Chain A
């Protein structure tokens, strides 16, 4: 292989992600097939969407028969943090040429974290190193999903309650956010908006209503949120 050294460096860097992605991908594939969906559905999702939290959340959309606009807006807000990632990689991806579209498509939390924190070997061709890193990470995710989807179809066991993994995932991510921001106000805004939405509208409109209310609340409290941010910096 022409870029063997780049591949090997990328593989070494990707090992921690391999562990996480194959296990979570497996859980995702298993969860989808356990709810009666065909094994191709989660696998296609891991290929074309490739975003952990959003893919797990999709089950909620399917069960609630959410409308397309609601799914669109909710998906944007679930992943809005990703729009922030690109800002710090504009320069790094500049000379990636034909590999650039894939690098942008595959920019998950973990890939971003690796790309921005790991030191790079200046002797390697950067764009190929980054490409292999991104592609290896996605291959773990797809491989895990495929294994979980096929395994879920073959073995019959009681999977009631398995979808709680979604709630647990969001709880863990929220705790990580708290560790970063050290501010409880955003959590109160989210909780308040959710409770009002739960009371006011039906379940299939809850998410989009809560997002709208939370945006209003956050701009109403903008000064206070930004002051805390400045304190923290």
Chain B
């Protein structure tokens, strides 16, 4: 199951992740980062998170029954729990549990 490319992928992720953590210490310990870099760093997080939500749902078929309703329901429960309790563990586990129940009931 673990083909060699999976370990390569892990190495690539480790390297990329390390780069994001090292970059400011490498490049900006003496001079200020350029405006464009600061702009992307500040504004990209909400954008990438939205993209990732779509990415994780990319294999869901919204054109055939049940039209992605289980996924949308799971998201709604997650959001509701997060509004109510503001605790990310409760939100994630509650949303996932409800989704799993819907999947298992067919």
The chain A residues found within 8 Å of chain B, CB to CB, are 19-20, 23-24, 27, 36-38, 41, 44-45, 48-51, 53-55, 57-58, 60-62, 65-66, 68, 71-73, 75-87, 90, 93, 104-105, 107, 158, 160-178, 181, 183, 186-187, 189-191, 193-195, 198, 203, 206-207, 210-211, 214-215, 218, 222, 225-226, 229
Which residues of the other chain, B, contact A174 by a CB distance below 8 angstroms? 46, 49-50, 53
Would A41 and B2 be within 8 Å (CB), given that A49-B14, A161-B96 are in contact? yes
Are A170 and B96 in contact, CB atoms less than 8 angstroms apart? no
State in angstroms the CA–CA spacing of A225 and B21 once bound together.
25
Are B17 and A49 in contact, CB atoms less than 8 angstroms apart? yes
**B33 interface hit (Cβ, 8 Å):** yes
Of all chain B residues, the one with the shortest Cβ separation from A158 is: B104
Are B42 and A66 in contact, CB atoms less than 8 angstroms apart? no
Q: Is the interface of A mostly helix, strand, loop or mixed?
A: helix
B87-106 with Cβ < 8 A to chain A? 88-89, 91-93, 95-96, 99-100, 102-104
Cross-chain contact of A186 among B22, B43, B52, B78 (Cβ < 8 A) = B43
Inter-chain pairs besides A75-B13, A177-B46, A194-B51, 4 sampled, C-beta below 8 Å:
A83-B24, A186-B43, A194-B50, A206-B55
Would A61 and B79 be within 8 Å (CB), given that A168-B95, A173-B49, A186-B47 are in contact? no
**B18 interface hit (Cβ, 8 Å):** yes
Cross-chain contact of B54 among A158, A166, A169, A198 (Cβ < 8 A) = A198
State in angstroms the CA–CA spacing of A177 and B47 once bound together.
10
Are B54 and A210 in contact, CB atoms less than 8 angstroms apart? yes
The chain B residues found within 8 Å of chain A, CB to CB, are 1-2, 5-6, 8-25, 28-29, 33, 39-59, 71, 74-75, 78-79, 82-83, 88-89, 91-93, 95-96, 99-100, 102-104
Are B47 and A214 in contact, CB atoms less than 8 angstroms apart? yes
Cross-chain contact of A203 among B19, B25, B48, B59 (Cβ < 8 A) = B59
Would A80 and B10 be within 8 Å (CB), given that A54-B17, A164-B99, A174-B50 are in contact? no
Would A76 and B46 be within 8 Å (CB), given that A171-B78, A175-B82 are in contact? no
Are A20 and B88 in contact, CB atoms less than 8 angstroms apart? yes
Would A210 and B28 be within 8 Å (CB), given that A81-B41, A83-B20 are in contact? no
Interface centre among B22, B42, B55, B74 (most CB of A within 10 A): B55
Which residues of the other chain, A, contact B50 by a CB distance below 8 angstroms? 174, 186-187, 189-191, 194
Which residues of the other chain, A, contact B46 by a CB distance below 8 angstroms? 174, 177-178, 181, 183, 186-187, 190
Of all chain B residues, the one with the shortest Cβ separation from A210 is: B51
Are A170 and B9 in contact, CB atoms less than 8 angstroms apart? no
Cross-chain contact of A83 among B23, B58, B88 (Cβ < 8 A) = B23
Which residues of the other chain, A, contact B55 by a CB distance below 8 angstroms? 57, 60, 194, 206-207, 210
